[in-house]
Chains A and B, each alone.
Chain A
Amino acid sequence: MEAATPEPTQRLPRQARVLFALYSLGWAAPLLLVAFTAAGALDRADDASGWAPLAIRAAAVAIVLLGLLLEPQRRWRNWRYELRDEEIDLRRGVLVVTRTLIPTIRVQHVDTKRTWLADQLGLRAVVIHTAGGSHTIPALPPATAAEIRDRIAQLAQRPDDV
């Protein structure tokens, strides 16, 4: 009846880790700023309570290091994709690993997306749109991205009734 679904095998290029780390900066930088401002304010308070400002600074630095080093590494390690004739198979996630199957017949359109940041690393995103929402393969070499986009577009040519 049901066949076991083969695991997806294709990985993202290694530069993807740099891109993920840059994305992490988006929340890490404000976090550092807020934490160090708060710690500085505590320092200047009359009853300087010694350990509290230090703890805040240490925690902020630890979280930011995790976010900039471990998180991108793990995101990249977990990312897999596979294109089959009938379905697109995606696996991704840092803490929660999610496996998603998208029937190719449900695909409404496919985009390759190029942002300034990703462009500096020579990367493109492929965005797959269905009637229910969109799915992104966030970092691929331009040639691969174009190839995947065209292949999905070709596979998705059968009409669907949404």
Chain B
Amino acid sequence: MSEEPEEQPAPDRSGLARRRLHPAGALLSALDDVRNALFSVIVLLVLGSQSGNFGAVAVLLGVVGAAVAVTVGYLRWRAESYEIADGAIRHRQGIVSPDETVVPLSRVHSIDTAQGPVQRVFGVDELHVQTAGGGEKGEIVLRAVSPEETARLRTAAGLPEPTATDLPEWRLSPSGLILVGLTAPQLGMLLPVVGGAFAVGDDLLGRDATNSLADRLPTDAAGILLLVVAALLAAWLLSFLGSLVAFAGFSVTRDGDHLRIRRGFLQRRATSVPLRRIHAVSVAEGPLRRPFGLCSVRLETAGYGREPSAARTLFPLLPIAGLDAQLASFVPALAGHAESQGLHRPPARSLRRYVLPGTLAVLLPTIAATLAWPVAWPAIPILTALATLDGLARHRNAGWRLDDDRLLLRRGSLTRRTLLARPTRLQDHSLSQNDLQRRAKLANISITVASGTATSVAHLDSATATTLFNRLRPFG
């Protein structure tokens, strides 16, 4: 296997003397305490109002609470410090029993910044020291660090700030942002949330109110349709606003061997990803995007695997036709030629294996439901047709292609998902087969990339699948 030369930046061994956070850290800590205590304060206030001297209790609680929070915040700020020494970032915090977290510089992926409202008032950054193992919240979180100090830390950690100008940059335009919101894939996932909101409404309004509400619910088809449309619109609106908040001001810059990604409206986030750690990206063409030739692209990088999708986004919205050009300038290792040519598809004989299991899984329960409750009969043709269409679409979308240095795996039904991976960087790959598939000479291929995402393509011709399995072995 041809290993790429390791481009580990040489960290500055001289280190960085131990120091405290920006004083805004004390305020942030105090605000945390206030927020945590809010519930008990409200309970006490309610009790106080019952005993009749509401005002006195409120003032007392306010004064004492603020004093305690500020004192504790100050003590915590005094007890928190960080330094770079012996090739590691060391972070110490805790008033009573100080804990020290040590992260070797060689393990640091990036030092990300985030700015909440308080940080913005003081012009400081919240720093997240990221390694392969942790989540979006870094291994070490420094809540208030001045910009100059951020630059010094990054330099000392061997992850200097971008100095060059005129770097390749991709920005999400305001109209693009609106489109992201309108076509957001979270739409389907938000429907249960709306249902949940109704359930919470039940609890809050009490049974009587819910019952009277239920009496007023429309019972005719038009009324039910109207209700469903209203719920969909509400879900869409929520999803739309969520996307705006997550992706406002989204931009990607390539600075030599790092990508810098900035995003966020309330919380400004900036993250930096070394290119050599991007082993794969996944391209999603959702049902609202694919008809317009649009897709979104996500990074598949170790340590971000379990994060919400916004944290892993490389391009929130991109014309699929421009994908290869954008990859060529931002993630060249994963760029390739026009991607739908020369795809190896599952053979025609595997079609029924894509369609039948899903269709039967829907058909049998709906028949059972109709036997128990005859009114449900329309569910049989409608749901069965949907399941069949789903199977047909999954068969049509499935495929793979292996180029010299890029593996493409595609699958999905409503949303077509394409994984682009560096074949020499897979974490593992598998070939699987059940008895029926063995008789039909079919097999499934599955690969895992560093983010932990496993991707499989089912019911390929077993000879073709075995060829791919062998070609993916860790030596050429």
Q: Do A and B come from one complex?
A: yes
The residues of A with any CB-CB pair to B shorter than 8 Å are: 1-5, 86-87, 93, 95-106, 130-133, 135, 159, 161-162
Cα distance A95–B434 when bound, in Å? 6
Given A162-B132, A162-B277: A99 touches B469 (CB 8 Å cut-off): yes
Contact A5 B452 (CB under 8 A): no
Chain B contacts for A104, CB-based, 8 A: 474
Chain B contacts for A131, CB-based, 8 A: 132, 302, 427, 450, 452
Contact B435 A100 (CB under 8 A): no
**Is B35 positioned at the interface, with any CB of A under 8 Å from its CB?**
no
Contact A87 B467 (CB under 8 A): no
Given A87-B473, A87-B474, A103-B474: A162 touches B431 (CB 8 Å cut-off): no
**Is B373 positioned at the interface, with any CB of A under 8 Å from its CB?**
no
Neighbour of A132 across the interface among B448, B466, B473, B474, CB < 8 A: B448
Contact A106 B427 (CB under 8 A): yes
Instruction: Offer 12 A-B interface pairs, CB within 8 angstroms, sorted by A.
Output: A5-B469, A93-B432, A97-B433, A98-B430, A104-B474, A131-B132, A131-B452, A132-B451, A132-B452, A133-B428, A133-B448, A162-B277
Neighbour of A2 across the interface among B6, B427, B473, CB < 8 A: B473
Contact A161 B428 (CB under 8 A): no
**Chain B nearest CB, measured from A157 CB (Å):** 14
Contact B430 A100 (CB under 8 A): yes
Nearest opposing residue in chain A for B468, CB measure: A2
Chain B, 302-337, CB within 8 A of any chain A CB? 302-303
**Chain A nearest CB, measured from B466 CB (Å):** 8
The residues of B with any CB-CB pair to A shorter than 8 Å are: 1, 4, 6, 132, 276-277, 279, 302-303, 426-435, 446, 448-454, 466-467, 469-476
Contact A86 B433 (CB under 8 A): no
Cα distance A131–B472 when bound, in Å? 18
Neighbour of A1 across the interface among B6, B431, B471, CB < 8 A: B471
Chain A contacts for B453, CB-based, 8 A: 132
Contact A100 B450 (CB under 8 A): no
Contact A105 B454 (CB under 8 A): no
Contact A96 B432 (CB under 8 A): yes
Cα distance A76–B378 when bound, in Å? 47
Cα distance A98–B473 when bound, in Å? 16
Nearest opposing residue in chain B for A130, CB measure: B427
Cα distance A86–B431 when bound, in Å? 18
Neighbour of B448 across the interface among A4, A130, A162, CB < 8 A: A130
Contact B434 A132 (CB under 8 A): no
Chain A contacts for B303, CB-based, 8 A: 162
